[in-house]
Amino acid sequence: QQQVKQSPQSLIVQKGGISIINCAYENTAFDYFPWYQQFPGKGPALLIAIRPDVSEKKEGRFTISFNKSAKQFSLHIMDSQPGDSATYFCAALADRGSTLGRLYFGRGTQLTVWP
Amino acid sequence: DGGITQSPKYLFRKEGQNVTLSCEQNLNHDAMYWYRQDPGQGLRLIYYSQIVNDFQKGDIAEGYSVSREKKESFPLTVTSAQKNPTAFYLCASSIEGSGGPRRNEQFFGPGTRLTVL
């Protein structure tokens, strides 16, 4: 059973546009929500992460929006660039309990930014 | 340079053979993880270890084995019992037990692509 559901599966955006990727979860014990970026043939790299004590976190062109009541979070990439073309994964983790340290990943979104 | 290394980058295996994938980290991280990645499946957890000499099964542990004899090393053996081992294997580590605001950040190695011939 997929603990974190991610959409869309693929996304095509024009250069300069906004890319938006959405994730949803059910487990209310989750309290750490990272986003990873992966280029073909490489390992994923941590892009940005949020904890539920804030509703938004911004780092450069990347913003996470978090809606605790809806159990949803999303990644916004402003002014998307061709170099942003990659696969993006959302994930969630419960920072306590028997599953301490386990990240649950969404299935990924393949982003293509056209020049 | 601090980081996670995985070797080899590419590995070819004949059916019926066991192979071992190497994962080493010099980040002094407590926890280490093995994931399998297949197209369209995201990352699925095979095994993880939060401390030396201890490890837990993830969601798809059947046909795999691990050991954690040293803090910096977490090798994965793909046994002949694994029916469909062709995949991209990723190792990761995190501070975890040491606490702090960055305790949950997982850092990934470059991966090993395993192909069964």
Q: What is the pLDDT of residues A58-108, one digit of tens each?
A: 999 999 999 999 999 999 999 999 999 999 999 999 876 655 678 899 999
Minimal CA–CA distance to B59: which of A88, A1, A30?
A1
Quote the minimal CA–CA distance from B97 to chain A in Å. 9
Contact status of A45 with chain B (Cβ, < 8 Å): yes
- The pLDDT value recorded for residue A98 is 58
Model confidence at A23: pLDDT above 90: yes
Contact status of A42 with chain B (Cβ, < 8 Å): yes
Quote the minimal CA–CA distance from A36 to chain B in Å. 10
**Cα separation of A3 and B73, whole Å?**
29
CB contacts, 8 Å: B109 with chain A: 43
Mean pLDDT computed over B8-23:
93
pLDDT in tens, B66-87: 999 999 999 999 998 888 999 9
- The pLDDT value recorded for residue A73 is 98
Token pair for A6:
């991610």
Residue count of chain B = 117
Mean pLDDT computed over B4-25:
94
**Cα separation of B45 and B56, whole Å?**
10
- The pLDDT value recorded for residue A95 is 73
Model confidence at A1: pLDDT above 80: no
Of B42, B90, B108, the CB nearest to A106: B42
**Cα separation of B96 and B104, whole Å?**
6
CB contacts, 8 Å: A32 with chain B: 104
Query: Residue A8 contacts by C-beta under 8 Å, 6 or more apart in sequence?
Result: A21, A22, A109
Minimal CA–CA distance to B52: which of B77, B25, B78?
B25
- The pLDDT value recorded for residue B83 is 87
